[in-house]
Amino acid sequence: MTPLLRLTDVCVDIGRKRLLDGIGLTLDRGQVLGLVGESGSGKSLTALAIAGLLPLIGGKVTGGAIHFDGMDLTAIGEARLRSLRGKRFGFVMQNPMTALDAVQRIGEQIDIVSRLHLGLSAQAARLRTLDLMAQLRIAEPSAVAEAYPHQLSGGMKQRIVIAMALAGDPELIIADEPTTALDVTVQAQIIQILTRLSRDRGLALLLITHDMGVVAQVCDRVAVLYAGRIAEERAVEPIFEAPSHPYTAALIGCIPRDGMAPGSLHGIPGAVPVSGRYPSGCRFNPRCTHAADLCRQERPALRALPSGGSVACHFAKAETS
């Protein structure tokens, strides 16, 4: 069976700069795929590319294909894309503080999605809205539906944004760092609610995050992005047991654990290179502890791993193709 979402060799340019270079991903119904990487690695760009929203920031898909349920999203045009947005895939924005219209009541903002995409009447849409809010564990849904965004807390707003994403009954949810703007105390709640709901409904969830801890807890597979390229893409358990890419290993090394000696938590030295000034060869080589001459000269191809998944590193123990 073909997966619900398959990105093959997707390239994205803004102006003359190539910001995503050969991204490949697959995601199936009922699966949670974590997309991780540091700021500037292209996580949000990937999400915008899937939703066809790149024109908003002046970007363009210049190569590859994005297949969603058999359709190539890069070829179907804006009108068809708009009919898919919200109906077949929902989007959860990074910052819930600004993702809601300040002068419209909460309930109306959720209602309109199911009225538009499911053709529900006003009453039916409101019932659906209240039901969704209850599923998102919002206390007193009917009171909250009458409130304006400024009357709600950040965590509450993010639940509303999730409700809006779910209201059109989509098969895929793209959540772009859904907890970055929230208090630590509600982050876990939101992630839990999001993954529980998507598992209950058999949705595919693309969870963009830079928190490897979250990935370890809720994702089935994980794709590690570095400087616009995929570094490694595998199931979650093996990647945490034995990461194949030095960058993945370094990211995992950044998670604090119980019983760690003080001072033993390390960051990754250096920073993600700026687009347009990428080093030649492997883009991670200036920060890599294993870098050799080969890494500075030749771009490592993405190779299949014996245990499933793939990695782009010259020194990973991969099947030779």
Partner 1 sequence: MTLSRHLTVLRTILRRPGGAIAGAWLACVVLAALFAPLLTPYAYDAQVLKEAFQPSSASHLLGTDEFGRDLLTRLIYGARTSLSVSSISILISVVCGMTLGAAAGYFGGSFDRMVTTVVDLSWSFPEILIALMLVAIIGPGTSGTMAAIAVAYLAQFARLTRAQIMTLKSETFIEAAQSLGASHGHILFRHLVPNALAPVLVSAMLATGDAIILEATLGFFGLGAQPPLPSWGSMMSSGSALLFKAPWIIIFPGLAVAVTVVAINLFGDALIAALDIKDQVRRGK
Binding site for partner 1 (CB under 8 A): 51, 53, 56, 82-87, 90-91, 93-95, 98-104, 112-113, 116-117, 161, 164-165, 168
C-beta closer to partner 1: residue 90 or 228: 90
Report the nearest approach of partner 1 to the CB of residue 143 (Å). Answer: 14
3-state SS assignment for residue 68: strand
Q: Which residues touch 107 (CB under 8 Å, ≥6 apart)?
A: 126, 129, 130, 144, 145, 146
Residue 171 exposed, middle or buried by CB count within 10 Å (0-12, 13-18, 19+): middle
C-alpha 250: how far from chain center = 20
Please say whether the beta carbons of 21 and 27 come within 8 A.
no
DSSP at 310: E
Report the nearest approach of partner 1 to the CB of residue 95 (Å). Answer: 6
C-alpha 247: how far from chain center = 19
- Cα separation values, 142 from 23, 27, 36, 131, 163, Å: 43, 35, 37, 10, 14
C-beta closer to partner 1: residue 147 or 216: 147
Report the nearest approach of partner 1 to the CB of residue 223 (Å). Answer: 21
Please say whether the beta carbons of 287 and 274 come within 8 A.
no
C-beta closer to partner 1: residue 86 or 155: 86
Report the nearest approach of partner 1 to the CB of residue 145 (Å). Answer: 14
C-beta closer to partner 1: residue 117 or 221: 117
Report the nearest approach of partner 1 to the CB of residue 85 (Å). Answer: 4
C-beta closer to partner 1: residue 100 or 227: 100
CA distance between the termini of the chain:
24
Report the nearest approach of partner 1 to the CB of residue 81 (Å). Answer: 9
Phi, psi of 317 (to 5 degrees): -80, 85
Report the nearest approach of partner 1 to the CB of residue 113 (Å). Answer: 5
Within the chain, residue ranges assigned H as helices are 43-51, 77-84, 106-118, 122-135, 141-145, 154-167, 184-200, 212-218, 236-241, 246-253, 293-297
C-beta closer to partner 1: residue 180 or 297: 180
Report the nearest approach of partner 1 to the CB of residue 111 (Å). Answer: 12
C-beta closer to partner 1: residue 87 or 221: 87
C-beta closer to partner 1: residue 48 or 236: 48
Please say whether the beta carbons of 305 and 311 come within 8 A.
yes
